[in-house]
Amino acid sequence: MSGFTSKISYAKQHDVYFDDGREIELLQRIFNLPSQKLNALRNQPAAILAVIDGFATEKYLMNIGEMKGKLVTDLISHHRPKTMVELGGYVGYSTLLFASHLRKTWIDSGVSYEPQYYCLEMNPLFGAIIMALVDLAGLSDTVKVVIGPSSSSLKRLHSEGAIDNIGLLFLDHFKPAYISDLKLCESLEFVVPGTVLAADNVIKPGNPPYLRYVRMSAEKKTIEEKKALESMVKEGIKLVNGGVEPRGNPSLIYESRTVESYEPTGIKDAIEISVCLGSIE
């Protein structure tokens, strides 16, 4: 892996690095620009991202940044997903970057198709910021921002029939929820052969349980799931509807690899990229 080569370096991350007013300050900085400069940002996602990057050189923002962001846009170009889901949108940096690239990828392909990008964000304030920036970027036709806990939002999208399956799932929210939300997506049959998972921050701060799951063989996952269910019955844990609550699909096979890169501060990190190859069943 080459060294840190980002064109811009973010301010250092301190103990308090989000939800202290800096997100509103970012939004105010953008929308308080003189009208000529603000109008120059309309329908220009890259220009808005540049403003966000500039703000982050003064006050740290937990964005994916240029280098790791390119890893995901390369995935979009290669796999050309019809539906992309992002878990954890924060202030919308990755949403603008990925959704604009997704739309451009389909336009450049010459195929008449309108891709869908779902950004699931738990924090209503952050969700409102994302929606404001998505509108400014001219991406409202492509992006749907869903506010609420990720598990509830995924279930609602399923019940409403909004998503048939997920082409690319980007995980960048509460780290312990990576596994539970992936298993939920498996249970809802959102994960199909060809589905790509891109999990951020697998070095900083790290996520060993998630890495273990996507790297484990389907046979071993099936055995562990059976033991877990037997333990639940033995301990008298109530099962849903008199049966077993789906807890993922252990028969799914993933091909997984770690791609190292850097945080926008210059600190080493990586994205785990996993592709569903199918099922052993």
Q: 255 vs 2, which has greater pLDDT? A: 255
Angstrom distance (rounded) from CA 206 to CA 208 = 6
Angstrom distance (rounded) from CA 278 to CA 191 = 9
Q: What integer pLDDT is reported at residue 153 of this predicted model?
A: 98
* 160-180 b/e (C-beta count within 10 Å ≥ 16 → b): eeebebbbbbbbbbebebbbe
Angstrom distance (rounded) from CA 197 to CA 168 = 6
Asked, for residue 152, whether it belongs to a domain, the answer is yes
Cα distance between the two ends of the chain: 37
Structure tokens belonging to residue 147: 């506010």
Asked, for residue 30, whether it belongs to a domain, the answer is yes
Q: Which domain holds residue 26?
A: 22-279
**CA nearest neighbour of 203 among 277, 271, 142, 133:** 271
Structure tokens belonging to residue 114: 């309108």
> Which of the four pLDDT bands, split at 50, 70 and 90, describes residue 238?
low
Asked, for residue 203, whether it belongs to a domain, the answer is yes
Angstrom distance (rounded) from CA 276 to CA 234 = 33
Angstrom distance (rounded) from CA 225 to CA 213 = 11
**Backbone dihedral region for residue 130 (phi beyond 0: left; psi -120 to 50: alpha; all else: beta):** alpha
Question: In whole angstroms, how large is the CA radius of gyration of the chain?
Answer: 19
Asked, for residue 13, whether it belongs to a domain, the answer is no
Mean pLDDT of 104-116: 92
Q: Is 33 helix (H, G, I), strand (E, B) or coil?
A: coil
Fill in the DSSP letter of residue 246. P
Asked, for residue 216, whether it belongs to a domain, the answer is yes
Asked, for residue 209, whether it belongs to a domain, the answer is yes
Angstrom distance (rounded) from CA 13 to CA 15 = 7
Asked if 277 and 266 touch (Cβ cutoff 8 Å), the reply is no
CATH number of the domain enclosing 94: 3.40.50.150
Asked, for residue 47, whether it belongs to a domain, the answer is yes
pLDDT at 237 over 60: no
Asked if 81 and 115 touch (Cβ cutoff 8 Å), the reply is yes
Q: 245 vs 119, which has greater pLDDT? A: 119
The domain total for the chain is 1
**Span 73-90, pLDDT tens digits:** 999 999 999 999 999 999
**Span 168-199, pLDDT tens digits:** 999 999 999 999 999 999 999 999 999 999 99
Asked, for residue 15, whether it belongs to a domain, the answer is no
Q: Is 90 helix (H, G, I), strand (E, B) or coil?
A: coil
Please give the mean pLDDT across all residues of the chain. Answer: 93
Percent of residues, the chain, with pLDDT higher than 90: 86
